[in-house]
Structure formats: C-alpha cells, structure tokens
Amino acid sequence: MSDIKEGIQNHLLELQLEIDDIFAKGRDSVVSEVTIGQIYGGMRGLIALACNTSYVDPYSGLHISEYTTDEFSDKLPEEIFFLLSTGKFPDRKSLAEFQNDLSLRATIPQYTWNVLRSLHKDTHPMTMLSLGILSMENESVFKKEYQKGLKKSEYWEYTLEDAMNILAKLPGLAAGIYQIRFGDGNLIPHDSNLDWSGNLANMLGISNDKGFADLMRLYLVLHCDHEGGNVSAFTSRVVNSALSDLYYAVSAGLNGLAGPLHGLANQECLRFILEIHDKFGDDPDEDVLRAYILDILNSGKVIPGYGHAVLRVTDPRFTAFMNFGEANCASNHCFKIAKKLFSVVPDILIHYKGGKVANPWPNVDAMSGSLLNHYGLNEFDFYTVLFGVSRVMGFCAQNILALGLGQPIIRPKSVTNRWVLEKLTVPG
C-alpha cells in the first residue's frame, strides 16, 4: 500500500471515531437555527456541512488540518495535498514516493489536445480547463471498477486513483491551455526532475526566473482549499455525492469557480491597480489615493480585494504574498500600489459611514495578481486557471474523505414561499 493510501486509511479511522463519539453524545442535538434570511440569502452562515480538510477562523485565517498559513506556506503543493488527505505532512520518503507516482501519471491523452485545439480561438481558458478534465472522463478508474461491482467501503480507494491521475495531469493541461490560447501552440514537455509546481512554471514558458517558480509554488499552496461551503468545493462535493466520478465532480467545481463572484476576484483586483497606475502613475500620493477611494465608495461601488465573508483581520495569505513581493519585486509598480492601498484603504473603510463595513481588511486577491503581473503573466483570463489548478487539490481531498466516511448523497430540503408564509403565521 502506498504511503498516501495508508495515511488516508488511518485518517479515515480517526475521523470515524470522532464521528462515532459525536453521534453517541447527541446525534439529534440542534447546533444551528435557520433564519428566513438564510433561506433566501444563499444559505450564508448556515452550518450544514462537516469538512475535515480545512477551516477558516475569523481571526487566524485559513487552517489546513490544524496548521495555520504561516505553518504551511513554505511547503510544496504535493505536501499540501498529502496534508489535506491524511491530516499529516509526508516524511521525505513518502513525499518522494508520491512525487514519483504523479510523474508516472503525467501524460495527457492526445485526444484531449485534439479537443482543445478544435475550440474557437477565443474560448475562455476556464472553459478549456473544464473541458480538458471532462474529456478524460472515460479514463476514470472509479467508473470502471463501479461498473464491475464495487463495495461501498472501496469507493474512496478508486476515487484516490482518479485524483492522482487528474492531479498529475493538471500542470501540463493548464500550461498547454496557456500555449494554445495565448502562445504559439507548441507544448513544453513534462520534466520528471521537477516537482508539481516547478513543472507548471516551466511548461508555461513565461519566465526562467527562480522567483516565478517559487511564486507558482506559493500560489498553488495558498489557494488549495477553503472549507466545504464555497461555491466550487460545494458543487464538486454535491456532484460526487451522487457517485458521479471525480472527472465530473472536478469539472463541475471548476465551472463554479469560473464565476465572477468566486474565482475572478484576483484579476479584478489587478485591473483596479492598473487603473490607478494609468491615472496617477507609479507612486500615487496617499491623499490623492484616499480621495479616489472615497469617490469609488460614494458612487456605490466596492474596493476590489477588500472584505471577506468570514475573516475579520487581514487575510494571512495576503500577508504571505506581500512578504514574497517585498523579497522578490519590491520595486514593481503594481506591487507598490497594492502595498500603498493596504496602507490607505482599511482606515477609510473603518470610518466610512460610521464604520459599518464588517471587514475592512484585504483578502488574498488584493495582492496575488500584482505578483503574477510582475513575472509577465499578463493574460487576466488565465488567472482563474491557476486558481483552479490549486483548488482541485481541495476538491479531490474532500471527496476522497467524504466517500471514505460513507457520507450519503447531498439532498437538502427546499420549500415554497407559501410554506414559509404559513410557518410565519402559525401561532406559537
């Protein structure tokens, strides 16, 4: 048994014991109430899922397992996927074994490239990524084993096989999409001597700077997972809960990520920074910047990259990116503007309209686009592809664990307006 498979099996046993203890103490206990506002407000804040890969604390930010951003931001993506799936970091031997396994699975079928090359030249890169994954669905090990007759207790094992195959191909798929959509169409081959993020950086063919490879590593690590209720992770989980294999589930999650209210935020932040640069130059005066920010707020618009549904402090992922920028591109005009916005915007939001802004602090998107821009990755439509490559790690780990724990199909109850009205008018 491979180390990651053994690690998942042990983790599942630990999680099942915790669930057994929870059920013994009160399976029918009420932990949350649902308001009318939540029914009509996208279920925001409604506690209705268990997710054991990550959680977001309002004051300490993203945790992978029990590790904070500061504790995992220096790791490789392969180590992060191992952590998401097993609850533990791999040792050196396990990491090497896992990396070798991924490398052996990295070849992308020619028919996938044929599909992608047949698309209209203006096809969005996220459409290409989703289609690329879906085109390989016939390769699903889970589907083939399920058709033979598969025990429920074995679902997670073959879902892990699909996860390994998908993850192994993602860097090459994403980089190939970049070459087809924005480059000369020539694909740069996979290099078995490079790690997962190193291969992505190399196959993109954008920069030979070691800083770019480290930025890709950091980017893929910081965006890997964000609880189970965000649009993309939840969509992936719902689809997989019907036993649609991981190719369907990953493609579905990426389709959710492609929306402007979810995965497009970093490119909107960079557009905002470039607009400021066009108006005020490389180093805008803070008073001028304050006036500009207030004009935007007074017009009823928001400041891209500021605020978060859960966090009530500066996103630690923003801080990790800012520290990277200080070390690698401190003189870049986009980075300097992003940094200056950080010194100006929170104070404005804290006092704006009597301090009604719940979270005036920057999130991860306020800085990431500026760093990508520094290394010459200027095709905004591709930014969400990078986000997707990273977030697929979370999709895969969440679904592996859910199937390993025997969780059923997700099927919440919906009600009509009339039902709600009757509930409100019933005495008592």
What number is the average pLDDT over the span 283-289?
94
Distance CA 363, CA 315 (A): 5
The answer to whether 133 and 166 are in contact (CB under 8 A) is: yes
User: Between the CA of residue 249 and those of 89, 90, 130, 233, what are the distances in Å?
Assistant: 26, 26, 10, 9
Q: Residue with structure tokens 């997972």?
A: 225
Q: Stretch 314-332: mean pLDDT, rounded?
A: 97
Break the chain into its structural domains and give their ranges.
77-261+382-404
2 or 332, higher pLDDT: 332
pLDDT value, residue 428: 55
pTM: 0.95
What residues contact residue 273 under an 8 Å CB cut-off, 6+ apart?
334, 337, 338, 341, 369, 370
> pLDDT band for position 134 (50/70/90)?
very high
DSSP result, 168-185: HHHHHHHHHHHHHHHS-S
pLDDT for residue 1: 54
**What is the CATH superfamily name and number for domain 77-261+382-404?**
Citrate Synthase, domain 1 (1.10.580.10)
The mean per-residue pLDDT over the stretch 238-248 comes to 98
Mean pLDDT of 254-267: 89
> Could you give the strand order of the β-sheet that contains 54-57, starting from the edge strand earlier in sequence?
54-57, 61-64, 67-68
Average pLDDT, stretch 237-264? 95
Q: How far apart are CA 200 and CA 173, in angstroms?
A: 9
C-alpha–C-alpha distance, residues 289 and 283, integer Å: 10
Query: Which tokens hold the place of 279?
Result: 């108006």
What's the CA gap between 270 and 364, in Å, rounded? 12
Which residues are annotated as catalytic? 262, 308, 365
Residue 265 binned pLDDT confidence (cut-offs 50, 70, 90)? confident
Percentage of the chain lying above the pLDDT 70 cut: 99
How far apart, in whole angstroms, are the C-alpha atoms of residue 140 and residue 304?
Answer: 39
Beta strands in 10-100 (DSSP E): 54-57, 61-64, 67-68
Residue located via tokens 């095709």: 379
Q: Provide the pLDDT for residue 358.
A: 78
pLDDT above 60 (res 38): yes
pLDDT tops 60 at residue 317: yes
CB atoms within 10 A of CB 73: 21
For residue 31, give the amino acid letter: V
Cα distances from 231 to residues 45, 84, 190, 256, 354, in angstroms, run: 13, 19, 31, 6, 32
**151 C-beta neighbours (distance < 10 Å), count:** 8
Query: Phi and psi dihedrals of 420, rounded to 5?
Result: -65, -45
Residue with tokens 């930025």: 215
Q: Rounded to an integer, what distance in angstroms lies between the CA atom of residue 60 and that of residue 69?
A: 9
Residue 19 makes CB contacts below 8 A (sequence gap 6+) with 405
